[in-house]
Amino acid sequence: MTREVISVHTDTDQEEVAKIIQRYDFLALPMVDSEQRLVGIITVDDVIDIIEAETTEDIYTSGGIQSTGDNYFQAKLWSIVRKRVVWLFVLLLTNTLTGSVIRSQEAVLAQVVALTAFIPLLIDTGGNIGAQSSTVVIRGLNTAELSRQKLLKVLWREAIAGLLLGVVLGLTVVVWAYFLQGNWLVAVTVGLTLTIISVLASIAGAGLPFLFKKLNLDPALMSAPFITTVVDVIGVWVYLTIASQLLLSEL
């Protein structure tokens, strides 16, 4: 009886090699060429180096930075700037949408100036919630714990988690907003908005990495800065839309 030997080819991605050794608890793994001839052995020590390199790359990507591949003090300053500026330009352009949304609702802000004070609170909280969801999902996709077939289940769980977080945070904000402004309608508007933003941010944070995976892109590109920017736009639009419906009708 012959058993099929688990091996990797010379063109196998190093991250996949590390996953195989981790899955089967191997101490070493044979590497073969296209004709199944042994060309080398990959050991656990090699895998440790691979994992370190992949982890470093993921950390850079999660911050919206392209890895330079060099030690920080060995990398040229211009190289550091060039690796960071690409995503910063993307985020800069995306952030202009937030300004456009605010500009389109100037009438609401002009009549209820108190709304402006809560915009940073809402978009920052929404961005943090979205970043948490995306971090969990990105890790699950990279470790093969999650797959495309589990998309709906993941979105449902994150939506429920976002709703529960939104209710807890929303009630807290209602009390705080009323304490600051003395206006229950403004306080309820802020609390309701935060609840809705929490749900949408959780769904966006969980769903966008799956979209990138579907497009054969690295899910880690859907990093915290990008998620936060997307949620900022959504959050401001939701906030001012709710405010225009609830507050202007009472004025």
What is the sign, positive or negative, of the torsion defined by CA atoms of 112, 116, 118, 119? Answer: positive
Q: What is the pTM of this model?
A: 0.74
Q: How far apart are the first and last CA of the chain?
A: 84
For 234, what's the count of Cα atoms within 13 Å in the CB-facing half-sphere? 23
The tokens for 86 are: 């690409």
Convert the pLDDT of each residue in 154-172 to its tens digit: 999 999 999 999 999 999 9
Cα–Cα nearest to 167, from 189, 196, 210: 196
Contact 104, 241 (CB under 8 A): no
Domains of the chain as residue ranges with CATH: 8-62 (3.10.580.10), 93-250 (1.10.357.20)
Convert the pLDDT of each residue in 63-72 to its tens digit: 666 655 556 6
Query: pLDDT grade, residue 178 (50/70/90)?
Result: very high
Neighbours of 37 (CB within 10 A): 7
Max mean pLDDT among 93-102, 116-125, 173-182, 193-202 falls in 193-202
Our CA angle for 175, 131, 65, nearest 5°, is 140
Name the E strands within 16-115: 28-32, 38-43
**H or E segment to which residue 100 belongs:** helix 77-104
